[in-house]
Every structure is written in structure tokens, then in C-alpha cells.
């Protein structure tokens, strides 16, 4: 990596706060054109954007590639830093590009093929995403498949070693194509019985029973995993009886116990597990102050603005001086400063 992205010399008062608040956000948008994401870049200075199927333009791949290039150039011009341009391309039920773009099979089907074919498929799919301007795939899932759990259709299996081997191949293939990957959902969502998109789940396992769920994260972090996404869940067995996303103890497990030095991302804060319990502003602030580097807000502009206001208030109130907050800011500046320009 090249080193930290230099902060621009701002001409207008308060723009340094906007820059520092925006760098903690990865955000989505509603429509298909470049107008909305360009406005997000210009007004909020985000670290990254998340692409969904709803954003696929009528002009297909060529139009999408043009848009992604325009967004990168605008961020660099205004804020002196490239963007993380991300999508979830797990395969199976979670894929964002329609045919004729590459359609990866789901994780259970991938596991049936084995590591070699997974790596080759990931490399090919990654090359296509890279050609469209993306640099981050918010995958793979490291959650174990548990009977009755919600992740079975998105998991490589019940055995931690199988999950490790298949995810390693997936990460390797996308890495060879020039994309970063983000493993999810730490510390493991496989035993959850309700979907956090709808409501807050509880994983009713003690620390010993959760150890196998942590092992894929532990192994791949040891191999240089660049990003981890946490889960919106309650883990009473780890002392996390409320929403884990807001717990500094969760991030301490990730960083201190597992030795993770990369970027920690929240899951989408618009999900029901969060939205039914706290305001979006409180959620964004709590996630960052707990030690996440990036907070995801993936759709509604009003909620994105609420998150940005809360993070701006945190910066003004001096949270930037706290070691946990400052460390996250430094990691992000260094990571974004090392991204290749378009």
C-alpha cells in the first residue's frame, strides 16, 4: 500500500469534519444512474459505495463500467482518495449482476465442486467485476451450516475445515483477479434461527460451543484476511446479550484474541435487527465507537444523512482523540490511500 491518503486542504470551514465523518461510511443508493451516487460522493465524502441489483443500469455492463469510473474519478478529484466499490457476490441466492454476467453457484454447490474449481470460478468472476470497476466483494460467508439455522443455503457446510478450505479458494481466486474480499458474519451466524434482516436473533451457545464457529475466521485471519463483517445478533455466551454490533467486547475478540489487523465492517444498519431497536444515527455512532472501521447504510438517503450527522457530531465532540476511534481512522486512511486509481 502507498500509505495514508492525504487530507485535502479544505477551503470551507467544517469540510474536514465532513471528510472525517464520511470516511467511516459505506453507503448504497436507490436508482440506476450516476446522479444519486455522485451526489452522495459530493455531499458526504464516503469511503465506499455498495452496489445492488436495483442499481444495474439499462445499458448493461458498458454503462455500469462507465459509471464506476466516473464515481472513482469524482471521489479522487474532490476528496483525494479512491472509493471502495463493493457488491455481495457470494453466488446462489446472493448475487447482484443479472445474466449474461457470471453466475456463481451457491456455497453448498461450490463446496461440492472442491477448492480447485472454486478458485477458478472466483478468479473468472472477479476478473469480470474488476473490469466493471469494482474492487471489493463482500463475501465469502464463513458461517457454519447448523440444522435449523438461517445460513444453510449460504454456507460451505457444517465442518469448520471444509468451510476454511472452500473460503480460502474463494478468497484466493478473487484476490488473483485484483479484488479484496470481506468474510462474514463474525463471530458466526450459523446457529441463529431468525434472520437479522427482519429482527434481532440470538445465538444460544456458550463460549465453548461457539469455538468451532470462530475457527474459520481465526484460520483465515492468520492468512491475511483483509476485511471482516460482523453480525447483528445477541451472543449471551460471549457476554454480548444485546446487539453485538455495538459491543467493544466483540471487536476486542476480533482484534485481540484473533489478531485481526484489517478493516472491520458492520452489516447494513438498516436491517430490522438494528432498525427496530435504535435510531440510525445512534446505530452508526455506536458501531464506530465500538471499534468498527466502517458502518454500512445501504439504501435510504434520509437514513444515510442521519448516520453522517451522528458521525459528524462524534468528530466535533472529540471522539477522534480516543485511541479506538483514532486507530480506525488511521486504518481507513492507509487502506484507501493504497487503492489503485482508476
pLDDT-wise least confident of 214-218, 235-239, 293-297: 235-239
CATH of domain 89-264: 3.20.20.300
197 is catalytic: yes
Sign of the four-CA dihedral 136, 51, 184, 332: positive
Instruction: Say how far apart CA 143 and CA 141 lie, in whole Å.
Output: 6
pLDDT of residue 316: 79
pLDDT of residue 1: 46
Instruction: Say how far apart CA 114 and CA 35 lie, in whole Å.
Output: 42
Could you count the other beta carbons within 10 Å of the beta carbon of residue 300? 15
Candidate list 159, 197, 257, 317, residue with the active-site label: 197
Mean pLDDT estimate for the chain: 93
Candidate list 88, 143, 267, 293, residue with the active-site label: 267
Within the chain, all domains assigned CATH 3.20.20.300 are found at 89-264
Question: Higher pLDDT residue, 72 or 342?
Answer: 72
Model's pTM, two decimal places?
Answer: 0.95
Listed in sequence order, the residues at least 6 apart from 256 whose beta carbon sits closer than 8 Å to its beta carbon are none
Tens digit of pLDDT for each residue in 186-214?
Answer: 999 999 999 999 999 999 999 999 999 99
Instruction: Say how far apart CA 197 and CA 19 lie, in whole Å.
Output: 29
Tens digit of pLDDT for each residue in 126-169?
Answer: 999 999 999 999 999 999 999 999 999 999 999 999 999 999 99
Output the CA torsion 31→36→40→42 (10° steps).
160
Instruction: Say how far apart CA 294 and CA 48 lie, in whole Å.
Output: 9
Q: What is the mean pLDDT of residues 51-79?
A: 96
DSSP 27-89: E--SSSSSHHHHHHHHHH--SEEEE-GGG--TTHHHHHHHHHHHHHHHHHHHHSSPPEEEE--
Give SS3 for 136. strand
Instruction: Say how far apart CA 60 and CA 39 lie, in whole Å.
Output: 22
Q: Which long-range contacts (CB under 8 A, 24 or more apart) does 145-148 make?
A: 145/108, 145/190, 146/190, 146/191, 148/193
185 is catalytic: no
pLDDT-wise least confident of 254-263, 273-282, 333-342: 333-342
pLDDT of residue 215: 98
Amino acid at each position: 500500500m502507498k500509505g495514508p491518503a492525504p487530507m485535502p486542504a479544505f477551503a470551507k470551514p467544517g469540510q474536514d469534519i465532513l471528510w472525517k465523518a464520511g470516511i467511516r461510511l459505506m453507503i448504497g443508493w436507490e436508482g440506476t444512474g450516476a446522479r444519486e451516487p455522485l451526489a452522495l460522493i459530493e455531499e458526504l465524502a464516503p469511503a465506499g459505495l455498495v452496489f445492488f441489483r436495483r442499481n444495474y443500469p439499462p445499458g448493461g455492463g458498458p454503462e455500469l463500467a462507465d459509471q464506476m469510473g466516473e464515481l472513482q474519478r469524482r471521489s479522487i478529484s474532490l476528496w483525494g482518495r479512491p472509493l471502495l466499490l463493493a457488491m455481495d457476490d457470494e453466488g446462489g441466492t446472493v448475487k447482484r449482476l443479472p445474466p449474461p454476467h457470471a453466475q456463481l453457484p451457491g456455497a453448498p454447490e461450490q463446496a461440492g465442486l472442491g477448492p480447485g474449481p472454486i478458485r477458478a470460478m472466483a478468479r473468472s468472476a472477479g476478473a469480470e467485476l474488476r473490469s466493471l470497476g469494482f474492487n471489493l466483494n463482500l463475501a465469502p460467508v464463513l458461517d457454519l451450516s447448523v440444522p435449523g439455522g438461517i445460513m444453510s443455503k449460504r454456507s460451505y457446510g457444517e465442518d469448520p475445515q471444509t468451510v476454511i478450505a472452500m473460503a480460502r479458494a474463494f478468497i484466493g481466486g478473487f484476490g488473483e483477479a485484483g479484488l479484496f474480499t470481506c468474510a462474514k458474519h463474525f463471530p458466526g451466524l450459523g446457529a441463529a434461527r431468525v434472520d437479522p434482516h427482519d429482527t434481532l436473533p440470538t445465538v444460544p451457545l456458550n463460549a465453548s460451543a461457539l469455538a468451532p464457529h470462530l475457527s474459520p475466521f481465526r484460520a483465515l485471519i492468520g492468512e491475511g484476511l483483509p476485511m471482516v463483517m460482523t453480525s447483528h445478533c445477541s451472543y449471551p455466551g460471549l457476554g454480548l446479550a444485546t446487539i453485538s454490533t455495538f459491543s467493544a467486547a466483540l471487536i476486542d475478540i476480533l482484534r485481540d484474541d484473533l489478531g485481526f489487523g484489517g478493516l472491520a465492517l458492520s452489516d447494513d444498519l438498516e436491517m430490522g435487527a438494528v432498525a427496530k431497536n435504535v435510531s440510525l444515527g445512534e446505530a452508526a455512532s455506536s458501531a464506530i465507537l465500538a471499534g468498527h472501521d466502517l458502518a454500512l447504510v445501504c439504501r435510504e438517503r434520509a437514513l444515510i444523512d442521519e448516520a453522517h450527522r451522528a458521525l459528524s457530531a462524534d468528530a466535533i465532540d472529540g471522539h477522534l482523540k480516543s485511541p479506538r476511534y483514532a486507530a480506525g481512522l488511521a486504518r481507513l486512511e492507509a487502506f484507501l490511500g493504497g487503492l489503485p486509481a482508476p
